[in-house]
């Protein structure tokens, strides 16, 4: 068997005695409830070099309905305010993120009492994962209940997908196909030097009434908090400074984009080694008014928020993505309604304060790449 997809959102039980070993599996996509996903992964022996795509189906909106005095950030971190399901180590989001780094160890990762494992930097699986973490892609879809007149940040997303690959060429077919994940491009294991992997979270509340019932107004930036949490799991939430492996970051063509600087800060804040940023969305039509609940388009508001985020010093005077050297847009910027000439934007993202801090000068480019 070389290709395997299991897409059972509501979960399932597999009566497996012992383990199942896949010697030639080059592509595996598992989309299910995290409890059942963890039980299955604990029974599998997978090749370390396969393309792996894990998609958890559950509702964080439903998890965080409680209101806690003085708590205005979603409590994803371990605390008395965190949901009970986040205390179950073998099925927590962090554990599925570990599967991406070590797919050949899922049986140990998802056992009831996982033993401490000291990673060996010379392990072929570790070498492959470092090479496969150079480019990261993000795809975000909003809660369908989000009204055009309300802040999009106040609601949990319907879908968040993070994809990793060695290059843009390998990443985009996966990022642009949130269902099939570019299965046809998965290579034979052989002497494979890199893999394509993704971790996604899909909301299981399909009813408008259920989503509205569980909407918690205590978290004004639930969307941003969720994205910061998910991105903090990868490439390896257990390894310090693993985020510095990521050199390029891509916002997917059909994704929601931040129109507030705080959104970019939550998304990009930890990626201090980032060299290039890519926006794959087409421009918003000139005769269309921008609204916060839009997806799959690039508007003046998105670029303006990015410029503000890049030029706002953080703790210790450090600017966002200080190593950033380029921002690439698929369409030409001169077609962006409400914006100035491309050279004016070049000056806007390179403020005197940012350059004086030692941050790299950013070059804006456009066109198909």
Domain region containing 333: 257-369
Q: What percent of the chain has pLDDT over 70?
A: 94
Is the distance from CB of 248 to CB of 276 less than 8 angstroms?
Answer: yes
- How far is residue 77's CA from residue 86's CA, in Å, rounded to a whole number? 9
In this predicted model, which residue has the larger pLDDT, 159 or 337?
159
Residues 271 and 212 in one domain: no
Of 11, 73, 16, 58, nearest to 37 (Cα)? 11
Reported as a single tens digit per residue, the pLDDT across 120-168 is: 667 899 999 999 999 999 999 999 999 999 999 999 999 999 999 999 9
Reported as a single tens digit per residue, the pLDDT across 63-117 is: 999 999 999 999 998 778 888 776 667 678 989 999 999 999 999 998 766 666 5
- DSSP for 277-328 reads EEE-PPBPPTTS---TT--S-B-HHHHHHHHHHHTS--GGGPPSSTT--EEE
Q: Is the pLDDT of residue 346 over 80?
A: yes
pLDDT at 91: 73
Residues 276 and 167 in one domain: no
- How far is residue 190's CA from residue 26's CA, in Å, rounded to a whole number? 10
36 in any annotated domain: yes
Residues 227 and 309 in one domain: no
Residues 205 and 279 in one domain: no
130 in any annotated domain: no
Give the least confident one: 17-26, 60-69, 338-347.
338-347
pLDDT at 339: 60
230 in any annotated domain: yes
Domain count, the chain: 2
Domain boundary among 181, 215, 242: 242
127 in any annotated domain: no
Residues 262 and 234 in one domain: no
252 in any annotated domain: no
Residues 74 and 100 in one domain: yes
Q: Is the pLDDT of residue 191 over 90?
A: no
pLDDT at 87: 64
Residues 219 and 302 in one domain: no
Give the least confident one: 272-276, 328-332, 358-362.
328-332
Reported as a single tens digit per residue, the pLDDT across 270-287 is: 999 999 999 999 999 888
297 in any annotated domain: yes
Using alpha carbons, list the distances in angstroms from residue 257 to 15, 47, 95, 287.
43, 35, 28, 19
Q: Is the pLDDT of residue 242 over 60?
A: yes
Give me the helices (H) in 116-250, please. Answer: 124-131, 168-175, 208-213, 222-231
248 in any annotated domain: no
Residues 195 and 234 in one domain: yes
Q: Find all residues with CB under 8 Å of 369, minimum gap 6, and list them.
A: 168, 278, 328, 330
Residues 209 and 302 in one domain: no
Question: Residue 84's CB: how many other CB atoms inside 10 A?
Answer: 7
The first and second tokens of residue 253, run together, are 């063509």
- How far is residue 280's CA from residue 339's CA, in Å, rounded to a whole number? 18
The average pLDDT across 23-30 equals: 98
Domain boundary among 200, 215, 242: 242
pLDDT at 82: 83
Question: Residue 124's CB: how many other CB atoms inside 10 A?
Answer: 12
Question: Residue 55's CB: how many other CB atoms inside 10 A?
Answer: 24
Q: Is the pLDDT of residue 313 over 60?
A: yes
25 in any annotated domain: yes
């Amino acid at each position: 068997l070389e290709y395997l997809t299991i897409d059972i959102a509501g979960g399932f039980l597999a009566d497996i005695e012992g383990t199942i070993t896949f010697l030639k599996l080059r592509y595996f996509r598992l989309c299910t409830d995290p409890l059942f996903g963890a039980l299955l992964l604990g029974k599998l022996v997978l090749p370390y070099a396969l393309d792996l795509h894990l998609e958890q189906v559950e509702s964080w909106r439903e998890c965080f309905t409680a209101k806690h005095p003085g708590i205005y950030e979603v409590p994803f971190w371990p605390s008395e305010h965190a949901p009970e399901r986040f205390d179950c180590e073998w099925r927590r989001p962090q554990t599925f993120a570990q599967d991406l780094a070590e797919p050949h160890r899922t049986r140990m990762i998802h056992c009831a009492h996982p033993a401490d494992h000291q990673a060996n930097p010379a392990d072929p699986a570790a070498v492959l994962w470092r090479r496969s973490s150079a480019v990261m892609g993000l795809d975000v879809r909003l809660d369908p209940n989000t009204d055009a007149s309300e802040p999009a940040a106040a609601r949990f997303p319907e879908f968040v997908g993070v994809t990793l690959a060695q290059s843009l060429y390998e990443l985009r077919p996966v990022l642009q196909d949130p269902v099939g994940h570019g299965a046809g491009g998965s290579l034979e294991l052989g002497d494979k030097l890199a893999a394509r992997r993704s971790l996604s979270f899909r909301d299981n509340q399909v009813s408008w009434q259920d989503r509205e019932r569980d909407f918690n107004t205590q978290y004004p930036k639930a969307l941003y908090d969720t994205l910061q949490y998910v991105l903090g799991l990868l490439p390896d939430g257990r390894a310090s400074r693993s985020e510095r492996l990521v050199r390029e970051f891509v916002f997917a063509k059909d994704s929601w984009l931040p129109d507030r600087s705080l959104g970019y800060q939550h998304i990009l804040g930890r990626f201090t080694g980032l060299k290039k940023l890519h926006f794959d969305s087409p421009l918003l039509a000139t005769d269309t008014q921008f609204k916060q609940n839009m997806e799959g388009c690039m508007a003046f508001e998105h670029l303006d928020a990015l410029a503000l985020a890049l030029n706002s010093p953080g703790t210790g005077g450090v600017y966002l993505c200080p190593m950033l050297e380029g921002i690439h847009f698929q369409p030409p910027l001169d077609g962006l309604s409400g914006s100035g000439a491309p050279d004016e934007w070049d000056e806007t993202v390179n403020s005197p304060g940012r350059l004086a801090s030692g941050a790299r000068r950013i070059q804006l480019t456009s066109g198909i790449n």
